Amino acid sequence: MVSDMKIQIYGAGMAGSYLYMLLSEEFDVTVKDTRKKPDCRCAWGTMHSEAKKLYKEIEINLDEFILVKPKYAIANGIKIKNKNVVIFDRKRLLEELWSQIKFGDTKADIIVDATGYKRALLPKLNDKLYPTIQTIEEHDVEENIYAYGRKTGYAWAFPLGDNKWHIGAGDVNERRAQELIEILRQKYGFNETQKICSCKSKIRLLPPSKCRPFIYKNIVGVGEAIGCVSGFGEGNAPSLLSAKILAECLTSNSLDEYEKRILGEFKWIEEEHEFVESVQNGKKLKILLKIPKVMAIEKNRSVEYSIKDLLQLIRTLR
Ligand SMILES: Cc1cc2nc3c(=O)[nH]c(=O)nc-3n(C[C@H](O)[C@H](O)[C@H](O)COP(=O)(O)OP(=O)(O)OC[C@H]3O[C@@H](n4cnc5c(N)ncnc54)[C@H](O)[C@@H]3O)c2cc1C
């Protein structure tokens, strides 16, 4: 241990467990989670290049956890090429990290709120939390990512290999999320079947700029607690990156730069949220102005589509 500063992390999800691994050689770090084991919620899609690079820093080879690399993503019937999205065994990866974490609850100099959508320690926000429902089921369907969306939410089917699938949806309320799942089933042939497991969660759809403060007294937030989730619900790799930024600020004793660095790094998240809001509010001019930016962001991160595909997709959103 290089420093005698004590750090207590609350939440051992994507951000908290990664942050522990980055900090534990330098500081006295303990972690507390309200769960007994990592959650198995369906959030198993991630951006391969970015997540692989970040996990490499803690000597984890992401490729050992990859289940499927789907060739296509099919959204409202429109088929687009997948460039970088992989489905990984998030639960097994978290279990691997948990086996190395020192769990405990100690009096610390710095407290980290890594409690995801709960944001259990930082001041409450004027929040936008969408409920999600999800199941694991068996289906014999070609291994692509399938989605069915409308303006306020979408349903998805992610292949997990061996004919297993995560089926889920998020929308402004559970009833609408359930409706979306029913449409997805009909559209792509995921007939109602026995569920291997099912659960519910929530997702924060507010960008970082609307999740301030990031720091309050000796509490500092990371991951979804400070809005590191894209407008389309991508939060795994952003949570890791936010933890890396926090680790760098703590090790270089420059916590005062943390907010600026997060807001700078995640400008693309702000862009995506603005785009989604314009679509939801039917702001045609704003949508057109944002399209090139959003296409460039997604081409770089995840999937590649043409303007024609995107406009067609927007037209199908009810
Ligand atoms: C249904 C669903 C599907 C998703 N799919 C994807 C996807 O495919 N790809 C993607 O990139 N993102 C996805 N996301 C978003 C992504 O899961 C999150 O943004 C990401 O996990 C956030 O990481 P985090 O570490 O901030 O929070 P989490 O990973 O949620 O971890 C928070 C941890 O805090 C713990 N906790 C909560 N309250 C307390 C407390 N009071 N004290 C101590 N511990 C506490 C929880 O038990 C949990 O372990 C999805 C989200 C949902 C809800």
Nearest residue CA, atom 27 of ligand 1? 116
How many residues can be counted in the chain?
318
Tell me what pLDDT residue 297 has.
Answer: 93
> What's this model's pTM, rounded to 2 decimal places?
0.97
Nearest residue CA, atom 23 of ligand 1? 14
Tokens matching residue 14: 């994507």
CA distance 234 to 203: 10
Domains, the chain, in order of start with CATH, read 6-316 (3.50.50.60)
CA distance 247 to 226: 15
Residues with beta carbon inside 6 Å of ligand 1? 10-16, 32-35, 39, 41-46, 114-116, 118, 120, 132, 134, 168, 201, 203, 223-225, 229, 233-236, 239
Nearest residue CA, atom 2 of ligand 1? 43
User: Sign of torsion, CA 227 230 234 236?
Assistant: negative
104 CB neighbour count, 10 Å cutoff: 10
The number of helix segments (H) and strand segments (E) in the chain equals: 9, 16
Helix, strand, coil shares, percent, the chain, to 5: 40, 25, 35
CA distance 114 to 120: 9
Report the atom number in ligand 1 closest to the C-alpha of 243: 25
Tell me what pLDDT residue 220 has.
Answer: 98
CA distance 221 to 16: 10
Nearest residue CA, atom 19 of ligand 1? 235
Q: Which parts of the chain sit beneath pLDDT 70?
A: 1
Cis check for the bond before 159: say yes or no (omega within 30 of 0).
no
Report the atom number in ligand 1 closest to the C-alpha of 201: 53
Tokens matching residue 26: 């330098």
CA distance 47 to 52: 8
- Residues 254-292 have pLDDT tens digits of 999 999 999 999 999 999 999 999 999 999 999 999 999
Tell me what pLDDT residue 172 has.
Answer: 96
113 alpha carbon – ligand 1 mean position (Å) = 12
Tell me what pLDDT residue 74 has.
Answer: 97
Tell me what pLDDT residue 1 has.
Answer: 67
* Contact indicator for 206, 128 with CB cutoff of 8 Å: yes
Report the atom number in ligand 1 closest to the C-alpha of 168: 1
How confident is the prediction for the chain on average, in pLDDT?
Answer: 96
